[in-house]
Structure 1
């Protein structure tokens, strides 16, 4: 998807990217690819292969295939920095257990606009080198080196090298990349989980299930009470039938949210709200993060929501990512109403072929889609009418 160091023909990804396609095309698999990378960072590659019902390395590789599982991430911290490429290969060791076969980070020097980037981290099975500082590395083609090089040997080759080196201040670029990957948010919001009564205590971010809604509200209340009231007031205008949302502190110090529904005189706690209202509230709270996480992945936000709310949600998502490089959203969806709010370069189509493999391309790359959209035809309507995908 998008532009890679290994494939410069692609265009950069937009800040909001919706993935559509028929059931079984691979949307959930693509979402889990992001989750797998996050789990590799947090748990190591062997455990990541087994988590969340993945079934181990042998189930992750495609049927009939052998060799390594490979990833390439191409990203930029800011508009003023050169892109960084992260390459990861995972294979099996002699005992049949998953291992980090290869790991590499590359970036051009600060004063270079073109040409091949330098490698500033390179490990094979836990052994290799890293360069200190933020403008150093080696041109692997001719072994030209810049800066201070240190030899590296990890105690556990099943752990990513960026986990260890990303804790050392002499490797600032590795630290930044580790934090970028660590702060990805993969949303698996569950209304039933969100109704649980959490332990008291502020938490900065929503967790994967969203069962810490009240803890996040408590954090925002403590950080800036007046700003939090503004956030709640803005969110309540987007929740149908909700006249007011108020934070209420209980005797034990815990903060909970009260929702006053139109037509009722007494408010409800979040535990008594409908699935759809809770889900919308969680999404809008996520979009109001003061220090947004760099990458957010949401699967099928339309589930349990009235279809007329989806275009507004998509528009709010676009507004939340703004421009620049601070935040990027990925969404899988089956809803043409959600897609109607997007542009052809923001939508990717997964198509499964007879050989069992899927390909992905932008909606703007389909014949006539861009022209019809420019004439005012909504993209979701084109998709529903089989003009593409």
Structure 2
């Protein structure tokens, strides 16, 4: 949508509300990214500033990648206020800090400096590395599940992924059922063993093609549909369904999973999330929480503590770096 629209979206209040108070420098982001254990890391730098008319625009963008494991990084895309260059292909092409060039360099001039260069160039097949990096960014997923949203009836439209608030639980169930019926039933069996008071979960397909989930609770003969389930059960089910997605998003952000959940189940949920991620590069989870019950199920290396300093800015420190945590070990 462009940086100007992004600054105003979701009640953010514009560039002036996003930048730290008293700061004169542009907003700067830096991402360090690796596709897999066999690929070389990529660094993406982005600067957003105000033009003479006070409108946000992309001041600078750069993508760099190391040629060798311990070699110097080479820039394969650089744009300063819409002007710069990019290297085609998926090889070692790039330009180092001394100006040495390998590969095919293409001069670039963007017509709209309010849109990211990676969005424009990533749509072109010849810029393979930029395209892959853009696909990685598009796979990011932020969720804040809302049980009320999950209770709403949806049209019969299979969807591969849960949306931000989990309003399409039944659509995702319909997709998973269509793609692999036996595999989905096996997933439901695994999930139901982790939900309190649930003996069985099964899909119910209607004549109009719509699908809904039926929950069999202990002590009741007839099942409940998802619209009648408790907030906690729906949220837990949504989290476990997220962990079983067929084509998982590479980077998933989860906000405060403890809201609406009994603290007894948070430890097991944290352990399941950690186990689901594993040690590879297929998926990474970032979770914000205020719950000690959730944190206690994790190791000191898995937890970062954010605090406000005297200047009003946030600082982050790994839990394993605190002296009292080291003493506990």
| TM-score for both structures, normalised by structure 1 | 0.83
CA deviation string 1:283-330 (max 9, x = no partner):
000011122111000111000000000000000001110111111000
Decide which of 82, 90, 105 is 1:149's aligned counterpart.
105
Cα distance in 1 for residues equivalent to 2:46 and 2:97: 20
Cα distance in 1 for residues equivalent to 2:89 and 2:161: 31
Are residues 1:360 and 2:316 paired?
yes
Decide which of 210, 217, 227 is 1:254's aligned counterpart.
210
Cα distance in 2 for residues equivalent to 1:104 and 1:355: 30
Partner residue in 2 for 1:46: 4
Give yes or no for contact 2:62–2:75 (8 Å, CA) kept in 1. Answer: yes
Decide which of 57, 62, 65 is 1:99's aligned counterpart.
57
Are residues 1:83 and 2:41 paired?
yes
Cα distance in 2 for residues equivalent to 1:90 and 1:137: 27
Partner residue in 2 for 1:293: 249
Give the CA deviation at 1:166: 1.2
Partner residue in 2 for 1:348: 304
Superposition RMSD in Å? 1.0
Are residues 1:320 and 2:281 paired?
no
Gaps of 5+ in 2: none
CA deviation string 1:77-130 (max 9, x = no partner):
011111000000000112111100001100012xx1213200001011221110
Partner residue in 2 for 1:66: 24
CA deviation string 1:21-73 (max 9, x = no partner):
xxxxxxxxxxxxxxxxxxxxxx2111110111110000111111122000000
Give yes or no for contact 1:190–1:210 (8 Å, CA) kept in 2. Answer: yes
Cα distance in 1 for residues equivalent to 2:153 and 2:114: 37
Give yes or no for contact 1:347–1:362 (8 Å, CA) kept in 2. Answer: yes
Give the CA deviation at 1:140: 4.0
Give yes or no for contact 1:136–1:148 (8 Å, CA) kept in 2. Answer: no
Partner residue in 2 for 1:265: 221
Partner residue in 2 for 1:55: 13
Q: Secondary structure at the match of 1:176?
A: helix
Give the CA deviation at 1:134: 1.6
Higher relative contact order (CA 8 A, sep 6+): 1
Q: Which moved more, 1:348-357 or 1:278-287?
A: 348-357
Partner residue in 2 for 1:206: 162
Give yes or no for contact 1:70–1:89 (8 Å, CA) kept in 2. Answer: yes
Cα distance in 2 for residues equivalent to 1:246 and 1:317: 23
Are residues 1:222 and 2:178 paired?
yes
Cα distance in 2 for residues equivalent to 1:351 and 1:233: 41
Are residues 1:307 and 2:263 paired?
yes
Give the CA deviation at 1:370: 3.1
CA deviation string 1:263-300 (max 9, x = no partner):
11111111111111100000000011122111000111
Q: Which moved more, 1:263-272 or 1:132-141?
A: 132-141
CA deviation string 1:219-244 (max 9, x = no partner):
00011000000000000000101111
Q: Paired residues, what number? A: 329
Cα distance in 2 for residues equivalent to 1:289 and 1:324: 16
